[in-house]
Amino acid sequence: MKRLAFKMKLKPGCAEEYKKRHNNLWPELAELLKSSGVSDYSIFLDEETNILFAVQKIEAEGGSQDLGENPIVKNWWAHMADIMVTNPDNSPLTIPLRELFYLE
């Protein structure tokens, strides 16, 4: 199993709304992520910069950001677009991060 990390950007003043929406994650989205091999998925916030840091374990090559053709994911992205920095298709603007150290 591999780990994948990336960062995204939250719009100012939207941290509580972001947390609220993720605390009420759609069951069909959670099931899609799990059935696609995504597990142990966490998102952290740097409150000084509004940068979100995400890390997840993946069974295949692609992670959650590779599910963009799925209608559930497209609807979730549209649901989140008002509080995040996004691409024109509403997908979160993500920047992959390279792992330099890991201690198991």
Q: What is the CATH number of the domain that holds 39?
A: 3.30.70.100
60 is in which domain, residue-wise? 2-97
Count of domains observed in the chain: 1
**How high is the pLDDT of residue 83?**
98
Nearest to 64 by CA among 33, 85, 95: 33
CB atoms closer than 10 angstroms to residue 96: 10
22 annotated active-site: yes
- The catalytic residue among 22, 26, 79, 97 is 22
| Mean pLDDT (10-residue bins), the chain, 104 residues | 93 98 97 92 97 92 72 95 97 95 90
CB atoms closer than 10 angstroms to residue 31: 11
Ramachandran angles phi, psi of 26, nearest 5°: -60, 130
| pTM, 2 dp | 0.89
Residue 92 lies in a domain: yes
